[in-house]
Amino acid sequence: MPWLTGKRAAWISAAVACVVYLPALRNGWALDDYGLIQRNPAAHSLAAAVRALFSPYWPPQGDYSPGLWRPLVTLTYGVDWVVSGGRPFWFHLLNLVLHGLATALVALMTLRWLPPLGVLAAGVVFAVHPVHVEAVANVVGRSEMLAALGLLGAVLAARRYRASEPGHGARWLVLTVFATGFALGSKEHAVIAVAVLALDHWLDPEGERQPAGSLYLGVAALTAGWLFLWRAIAGALVSGSAVAPLKDLTTGQRLAAMIPVQLDVVRLLVWPFSLSADYAPQLIPIRTSWSLVATLALLTSAALLALGVAIRHRAPGIAFGILAGAAAYLPTSNLLFTSGVLLAERSLYLAVLAPALVAGWLLAWAAERGRVTIALAVLGLGCASFTVQAVTQIPFWRDSRSVVIGGLLEHPENFGAHFRVADVLLPTGDSTRALAHYLVAMEIYHGFFPVPIRAGRLALALRRPLLALDLGRRARALSPTHPDPAEFLTDVFLALDQPDSALAVARALVVASPGSLPALENYRRVLDLTRAPVWQQQLAAARLDQALGHLVSVTARLDSAGEASSQWTGSPGDCWELTRSLQIMQLLTPSVARAAEDHVQAKCRESGQ
């Protein structure tokens, strides 16, 4: 094909990527699109997005957030909202364009290793691979494509820097660092940028004209700075987002559970004809002890990595695809640390480099041996199958209802499918069936405490307090120190007219999580609802204000509680209240502290409290 050049192959691949995903323009909001875009004020104007640059990606709910920081993604949402007035069509159109650009960069990157025909094959396979549907057809998957654009752009710019004359190429160094920053601002897994640049350098058949030390130093410094900012803004919250089945496992148990998942990853990359929006424990069994499947998965993964290293001279493109794809998936694999999902197809966006480059290399190899017709036929059949699967899957993400109904029909054994069905039924007023699906979800999987809480609140609304009490106790047993189960359980006891039990639960949470703002707020709320003495409410409010840093208010509340010292008794509740507040009394109101200490020594110890 003398007319086919590398650049034309890149543009053709990009066009294919855009055409295949044209049906996504009919999609609306689905699942996380609501929380991150449709209901998120930071995504509704450019000014709001700028103000949110140093805020967590997910709007925090109480003291919970998934621990993500993706300021550039939120910024693109703000721009889209201003341009479109909040219409989903424009958001999906930009996703489609971003996927086309990422595909073009994949093709341009492979020019280093493959002839134009091989480049076209790699680009088209990347363009139509069905694993991309979740990332492209669901708006919030945009972070994957933006991060890919940054990482691939950094690779191409770094090549130009290494190829420039000594003392020149400063603009390529700047572009490499800028592209890395763009990727880091789009998704956390871009921390692999240094490793990907080093891998490309290692596989570069053209060598270098000038040392790349300055380039690596700049990228490493930027990555370290990003890690510091991420930790300060959202990183401290990341432990709370760990996927429930893995949260309490030891390192050995986690590895035994997650190493077998690598077989699912390989299957999705090679044979992506069974997809799911949610790979819950029912789709991916959690084996906490070493198994034959784990051994097979470990051997398979090791063999693929070894193959990538072994063929670095003969087929550097394939080596890059395997090793860079593995590196891109590693941060969300739960192998090094826990992440927020067991497995997600969107996390495999860059991992598709592996099958894409294999396809490109095989077609180039067949063309060299005069077997291009057969190879093109096989590749065409494969791409056609991938295209049909992708186009068929795109409407699955049309809206939340489509995802929920489709997920339940495809995988009724998945507890998450029933959980989502209940969430959809609830706003329609079908409370009884919603409760039934919540209870089914609980029976299928017992380890996710939001399910019994959601079911319990619905049971309360349906005037079934005893069922709600049982569900609340189950939720608290699953997560004794999380504020949500304790808050719900206090509400149940209040509904059952058992104020002492409600206070006991609220106090236990404060003891277990003394620095938790939701725990302190819940206790103050329960005191108010049970009409506790005003001085007790003042001490609880003082502890909350102290945690918030409102020291002037704290002092006033402590003084008010001290003025009511004649109301102090030796009851368990009074003693607990005074003992819990002694430390801040000693710091801010010594006279009140002395009175409280005297009371504790006299009345509380006398009564055995």
Q: Report residue 289 as tokens.
A: 């002890």
Give the per-residue pLDDT at 239. 54
Q: Report residue 212 as tokens.
A: 């790349």
H runs (alpha helix) in 411-550 = 415-425, 431-444, 450-461, 465-478, 483-495, 499-512, 517-529, 534-548
Q: Report residue 540 as tokens.
A: 């609880």
Tell me: the pLDDT tens digits for 156-209? 999 999 888 877 778 999 999 999 999 999 998 899 999 999 999 999 877 777
Chain-centroid distance, C-alpha 452: 23
Give the per-residue pLDDT at 608. 47
What's the rounded Cα separation, in Å, for the pair 90 and 548?
41
CB 384 within 8 A of CB 347: no
Buried b (16+ CB within 10 A) or exposed e, 268-301: bbeebeebbbbbbbbbbebbeeeeeebeebbeeb
Give the per-residue pLDDT at 238. 59
Identify the burial level of 550 via C-beta atoms within 10 angstroms of its C-beta, where 0-12 means exposed, 13-18 middle and 19 or more buried.
middle
What's the rounded Cα separation, in Å, for the pair 155 and 196?
8
Average pLDDT of adjacent 10-residue blocks, the chain of 609 residues: 79 94 92 86 88 82 66 93 91 95 95 92 95 93 94 94 82 93 92 93 79 88 90 66 69 86 92 83 79 91 92 91 92 82 88 94 85 83 92 89 80 80 80 84 81 87 87 85 85 87 84 80 84 80 80 78 73 75 78 74 60
Going from the C-alpha of 498 to that of each of 411, 493, 504, 505, 597, the distances in angstroms are 41, 5, 10, 11, 30
Residue 64 phi, psi dihedral angles, 5° rounding? -110, 135
Tell me: the pLDDT tens digits for 248-263? 778 888 888 888 989 9
State pTM to two decimals: 0.82
Residue 61 phi, psi dihedral angles, 5° rounding? -115, 100
Q: Report residue 315 as tokens.
A: 């087929």
Tell me: the pLDDT tens digits for 386-427? 999 999 999 989 888 888 888 777 777 778 788 888 887 877
Give the per-residue pLDDT at 316. 92
Torsion of CA 569, 573, 577, 580, to 10 degrees: 120
The percent of residues above 70 in pLDDT, for the chain, comes to 95
